[in-house]
């Protein structure tokens, strides 16, 4: 029964960039009920609501390794390249990243323009 209590929501995760608000059930690098997977950063984790499997988890987000903002893993907010970076920090330090990442960020920028329109419509 310990496992079920670990699934209980512990609080709300809120992305400081996009405002996505989701309850989380675990923070850390070893999600509950999983033995063979570790996370390479301290993550806010939720039991995967789209799976009936108890040990399936869903990573919601973590802190940006530069500015320490809490950000979600959505492509408009952050990326992972051996560490978590929020997109504003990536853009600021674009030159520090390899070409592949730079291209990717540009691509995301183009995408997020359409995305932000969507975001605007919800308020």
Partner 1 sequence: MASSRRAEGRGRWDWGCPETRSRLEEVFFGNQDIIRRGSEDCRRFWAFFERLQTFQKPKPGPAAKQLAEGPRCPALAGLPATYDPRYRINLALLSGEGEPGLGARGQLPRDQLAEFRRAVLHYLDFGQKQSFGKLAKLQRERAALPVARYRGHLLQALREHQVVVVAGDTGCGKSTQVPQYLLAAGFSHVACTQPRRIACISLAKRVGFESLNQYGSQVGYQIRFESTRSPATGIVFLTEGLLLRQIQREPGLPQYQVLIVDEVHERHLHSDFLLGVLRRLLPARPDLKLVLMSATINISLFSSYFSCAPVVQVPGRLFPISVIYQPIAKEEVPTSRAERLDPRPFLRVLQAIDHKYPPEERGDLLVFLSGMAEIGAVLEAFQPYAAHTKRWVVLPLHSALSIADQDKVFDMPPPGVRKCILSTNIAETSVTIDGVRFVLDSGKVKEMSFDPKAKLQRLQEFWISRASAEQRKGRAGRTGPGVCYRLYAESDYDAFAPYPVPEIQRVALDALVLQMKSMGLGDPRGFPFIEPPPAASLETAIVYLRDQGALDASEHLTPIGTLLSQLPVDVVIGKILILGCMFDLVEPVLTMAAALSVQSPFVRSAQSNLECGTARKPLESDHGDPFTLLNAFNAWVQVKSDRSANSRKWCRRRGLEEHRMYEIANLRQQFKGLLQDHGLLAEARAVPGDSYSRQQRHRQRRELYQLKRQHEEGEGRKRKVLRLEALDGGSSSGEDAEASGSQAGGGAHRMDIQDVKFKLRHDVDQLQAAASSAQDLSRDQLALLKLVLGRGLYPQLAAPDQFNSCRKDSDQFFHTQSKQGAVLHPTCVFANNPDLLQGGQAEAQEKSLDRRDGPSGQHQLLAFVSLLETNKPYLVNCVRLPALQALLLFSRSLDTNGDCSCLVADGWLQLQLEGSEGATQLLSAALRLRARWEEALDHQLARQAQPRGEDGAAAAPKTERKAAAALGRDLLDFMRSKVSYSIHRLTALEAQNLYVGPQTITAAPQLPGLFGEAALTPNETKGGYTVTSFLTYNCLMSDADLYSDCLRTFWSCPHCGLYMPFTPLERMSHESSCPAAPDKDAHGEQEGGGPARGGGCLGLPGQPIRPSCGATSAQLSAHLLSLARGQRGGGGGRQPPGVHSAAGLPL
Residues forming the site for partner 1 (CB under 8 A): 7-9, 20-23, 25, 34-41, 43, 46-53, 55-56, 58-60, 62, 65-66, 72-74, 79-84, 93, 95-101, 118-119, 121-122
Q: Least distance in Å: CB of 109 to partner 1?
A: 17
List CB contacts of 31: < 8 A, sequence separation 6 or more: 37, 39, 43, 45, 57
Rounded Cα distance between 49 and 56, Å, is 9
Q: Least distance in Å: CB of 98 to partner 1?
A: 4
Q: Least distance in Å: CB of 115 to partner 1?
A: 9
Q: Which is nearer to partner 1, 16 or 65 (CB)?
A: 65
The count of residues in the chain is: 123
Q: Which of 70, 96, 80 is nearest to 17 (CA)?
A: 70
């Amino acid at each position: 029964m310990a496992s079920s209590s670990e699934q209980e929501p512990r609080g709300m995760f809120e992305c400081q960039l996009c405002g996505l608000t989701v309850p989380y059930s675990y923070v850390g690098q070893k999600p509950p009920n999983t033995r063979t997977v570790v996370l390479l950063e301290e993550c806010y984790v939720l039991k995967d609501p789209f799976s009936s499997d108890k040990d399936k988890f869903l990573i919601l987000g973590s802190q940006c390794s530069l500015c320490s903002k809490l950000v979600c893993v959505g492509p408009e907010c952050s990326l992972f390249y051996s560490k978590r970076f929020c997109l504003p920090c990536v853009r600021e330090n674009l030159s520090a990243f390899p070409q592949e990442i730079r291209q990717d960020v540009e691509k995301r920028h183009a995408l997020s323009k359409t995305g932000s329109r969507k975001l605007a419509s919800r308020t």
